[in-house]
Amino acid sequence: MKNITVVGVGYVGIITGTCFADLGNNVCGLDSSEEKIASLKAGVMPIYQQGLKELADRNVKAGRLSFTTSYEEAINGHQAEFVFICVGTPEGVDGEADLKYVRAAAQSIAEVMDHPLVIINKSTVPVGTGDWVADIVREAQPELIPFSVVSCPEFLREGSAISDFMNPDRTILGSRDPEAAEKVAQLHLPLRAPIVVTNLRTAEMIKYASNAFLATKISFINEIANICEALDADVQEVAAGMGLDGRIGSAMLNAGIGYGGSCFPKDVKALAYMANVKGSHPQLLQAVMDINEFQRKTVVLKTRAILGEDLTGRTVGLLGLAFKAGTDDMREAPSVDIAQMLQAAGATVKGYDPVAMEWAARVIPNIQLADDAYDLVAGCDAVIVCTEWNEFKQLNLERAKELMKQPVIVDGRNIYDPGAMKKAGLIYRGVGRGHDGGASQTTP
Ligand code: UDX
C-alpha cells in the first residue's frame, strides 16, 4: 500500500486515482476547483464514465480515496510518496500544447513539499517536459528536498477508461532516475502488463507516436473509403479483409466522419508543431489532419447532393452528438462542425444524443434538441448519424421513415446495412459503402 496523490481530477486524474485506490493504495485527489472537489465529496463524478461512481464510492467508503483543494493536505498531510500530475494540456497557439496547468502544479508541489517525492507526469506533455518540470520544482523549492520526475503517459480511452487502466497493453515509464522508475513500476505490478522503462524524452515520444499512429490508421481507412466510393467497393469489407493481417490488425479501421475528442486532434497537432519547430516537416501528420478535416464535410456534401445545395427551409437531424459513443464529451466532436456547415447552407439543425445533450447545447448554437431518436427524425428532410450509439443500431426503420419528411439517412459512422436501408425504402448514404451505400462525392 502506497500513499499516492493525484493533481487534477478530470478525465485522467479521477480514473487514475480511483483505480490506484481500488488496487489497495491510499489516494488523495487534489484539484483547484472547489466545485469539482465539493461534487466528488458528495459522490458526484466530474465525468461520464460507466462504473466510475460505484468504484469511487466503494473506495471512499473503504477510506482509500479522499479529495481536497489543499496542496498542503494532499502532499504533506497525506504523506504522499507519489504525486501524479494529471492536469489538462490544452491546445495552444499553432497547435503547441499549453503547459500552464502543468507549470502551476509543479510550482505548487515544490512550494509545499516537506519530504522527498516521486513526481509523475501522467498528462500528455511535449517531449522534454519532464526536464522542464524538474527545473521548475528545483527553482520553486524554498529549500532543496530530494525528488525525481518520471514520465508515465496514459493510454485511456473515454468510455472504457477503467478497463483500459486495469488491463493495459503496457505501462511506459521514463526517468533520469532508475530507482524512481522502479518504484513507479512496482505500483503497476498488480496490472500484470509489460512495463517498458526508458528515458524521459522517449517515454513522452511513445505517447505522441502511439496516438499519432492510431489517428493515421483512421485517416488511412477514411482515404480508402473515399476511394472505395469512386471504385464501388465496400470499405467495411475491405477493413475486415485488411484487419486479418496480424501486421495490420482490425482496430481503428472504422471509416466514417473521422476522429474527434480531446486527444487525437490535440496530440497530432502538437507532434506536428514539435516537428516543425525543429525543422522536421511532418508531411504524413499534415495529411492525417487534412483528411480528418475533410471527412466531416463529406456527410454535408452528400446531404446537399440529395436535398439540393441550398438547404433553406430544410430540417436536418444529427443522430448522436458526442465525439464517440460511451461519453458525453463534445470536444472536437464532428457534429459541431457538421451543424455549423448545415446551418451555413440554410438548414435548421436538430440533434439528439443519449448523454451529451447538455454539453451539446453549450457548443452548438441554435440546435433544436430532441427527446429521443424518433423525436429527432420527426419532420427531418435528412438525418445524419454522427455517433455510433448502440441504441441507434436497432432503430425501427419503418417507424423512422413514417416520421421523416423525406426518407434520407446519411450514415457518418456506417452503423447501418445498405441493403436493409434500401429494403426499408430509405435513401441511404454511408461512408465508403460503394454505390449500394453511397454515391461518390468530390474528394479533396
Ligand atoms: C484515444 C486513444 O485511443 C487513447 O489511447 C488515448 O489515451 C486517448 O485518445 P479516445 O480519444 O478516448 O482515446 O477514443 P478512441 O476510441 O481512440 O476514438 C478517438 C476518435 O477516433 C473518436 O472520435 C472515434 O469516433 C474515432 N474513431 C475511432 C474512428 O473514427 N474510427 C475508428 O476505427 C476508431
Q: Which of 198, 215, 242 is the last residue of a domain?
A: 198
260 plus 245 within the same structural domain: yes
401 plus 309 within the same structural domain: yes
Partners of 427 in the β-ladder = 408
pLDDT at residue 406 in the model: 98
pLDDT at residue 222 in the model: 98
274 plus 163 within the same structural domain: no
Instruction: List the CATH number of the domain containing 226.
Output: 3.40.50.720
Query: Measured at the alpha carbon of residue 424, what is the angle toward residues 313 and 352, in degrees to the nearest 5?
Result: 50
Distance CA 56, CA 26 (A): 13
Residue of the CA atom closest to atom 34 of ligand 1: 252
Distance CA 270, CA 172 (A): 20
In the chain, how many domains are there? 2
Residue of the CA atom closest to atom 7 of ligand 1: 155
In DSSP notation, 88-110 reads: ---B-GGGPBP-HHHHHHHHHHH
Pairing of strands 147-151, 171-175: antiparallel
Pocket of ligand 1 (CB under 6 A): 154-158, 211, 214, 218, 252-254, 256, 258-261, 263-264, 323-324
Does residue 442 carry a pLDDT above 60?
no
Does residue 283 carry a pLDDT above 50?
yes
C-alpha cell at 39: 461534487
Q: Which residues lie below 8 Å from residue 376, measured CB to CB, with a gap of 6+?
A: 317, 318, 319, 350, 351, 352, 370, 383
pLDDT at residue 440 in the model: 43
- Which parts of 117-263 fold into alpha helices (H)? 129-140, 161-166, 178-188, 200-231, 235-243
Contact indicator for 403, 422 with CB cutoff of 8 Å = no
240 CA to centre of ligand 1 in angstroms: 18
Give the model's confidence band at 439: pLDDT under 50 very low, under 70 low, under 90 confident, else very high: very low
16 plus 97 within the same structural domain: yes
Lowest-confidence region among 93-102, 384-393, 421-430, 434-443: 434-443
376 plus 232 within the same structural domain: yes
Rounded to 10 degrees, the C-alpha dihedral 292/97/129/197 comes to -20
Nearest to 413 by CA among 394, 396, 427, 433: 433
pLDDT at residue 190 in the model: 97
261 CA to centre of ligand 1 in angstroms: 7
C-alpha cell at 265: 486532434
Burial class, 417, CB count within 10 angstroms (exposed 0-12 / middle 13-18 / buried 19+): middle
158 plus 122 within the same structural domain: yes
* pLDDT tens digit sequence for 351-410: 999 999 999 999 999 999 999 999 999 999 999 999 999 999 999 999 999 999 999 999
337 plus 370 within the same structural domain: yes
Output the average pLDDT for the chain.
Answer: 96
Amino acid at 220: F
Query: Measured at the alpha carbon of residue 53, what is the angle toward residues 50 and 55, in degrees to the nearest 5?
Result: 95
DSSP reduced 3-state for 353: coil
72 plus 118 within the same structural domain: yes
Q: What is the span of the domain harbouring residue 410?
A: 199-444
Burial class, 310, CB count within 10 angstroms (exposed 0-12 / middle 13-18 / buried 19+): exposed
Q: Which of 198, 231, 260 is the last residue of a domain?
A: 198
Does residue 438 carry a pLDDT above 60?
no
Burial class, 438, CB count within 10 angstroms (exposed 0-12 / middle 13-18 / buried 19+): buried
Catalytic residue numbers read 263
Tell which atom from ligand 1 comes closest to the C-alpha of 332. Answer: 23
Ligand 1 pocket: which of 91, 218, 413 to mutate (most atoms within 8 A of CB): 218
Mean pLDDT throughout 9-18?
97
Give the model's confidence band at 18: pLDDT under 50 very low, under 70 low, under 90 confident, else very high: very high
247 CA to centre of ligand 1 in angstroms: 20
225 plus 177 within the same structural domain: no
Does residue 212 carry a pLDDT above 50?
yes
Tell which atom from ligand 1 comes closest to the C-alpha of 323. Answer: 23
* pLDDT tens digit sequence for 40-70: 999 999 999 999 999 999 999 999 999 999 9
14 CA to centre of ligand 1 in angstroms: 19
Q: Which of 172, 198, 224 is the last residue of a domain?
A: 198
Ligand 1 pocket: which of 257, 259, 299 to mutate (most atoms within 8 A of CB): 259
End-to-end CA distance of the chain: 56
Mean pLDDT throughout 277-298?
97
235 plus 264 within the same structural domain: yes
229 plus 308 within the same structural domain: yes
Portion of the chain with pLDDT greater than 70, in percent: 98
Give the model's confidence band at 441: pLDDT under 50 very low, under 70 low, under 90 confident, else very high: very low
Q: Using alpha carbons only, how large is the chain's radius of gyration in Å? A: 24
Q: Which residue's entry shows cell 486524474?
A: 13
pTM for the structure as a whole: 0.95
Nearest to 268 by CA among 222, 317, 209, 218: 209
* pLDDT tens digit sequence for 300-345: 999 999 999 999 999 999 999 999 999 999 999 999 999 999 999 9
C-alpha cell at 257: 466522419
* pLDDT tens digit sequence for 111-157: 999 999 999 999 999 999 999 999 999 999 999 999 999 999 999 99
296 plus 286 within the same structural domain: yes
Does residue 437 carry a pLDDT above 80?
no
C-alpha cell at 111: 512550494
Give the model's confidence band at 436: pLDDT under 50 very low, under 70 low, under 90 confident, else very high: low
211 CA to centre of ligand 1 in angstroms: 9
Give the model's confidence band at 435: pLDDT under 50 very low, under 70 low, under 90 confident, else very high: low
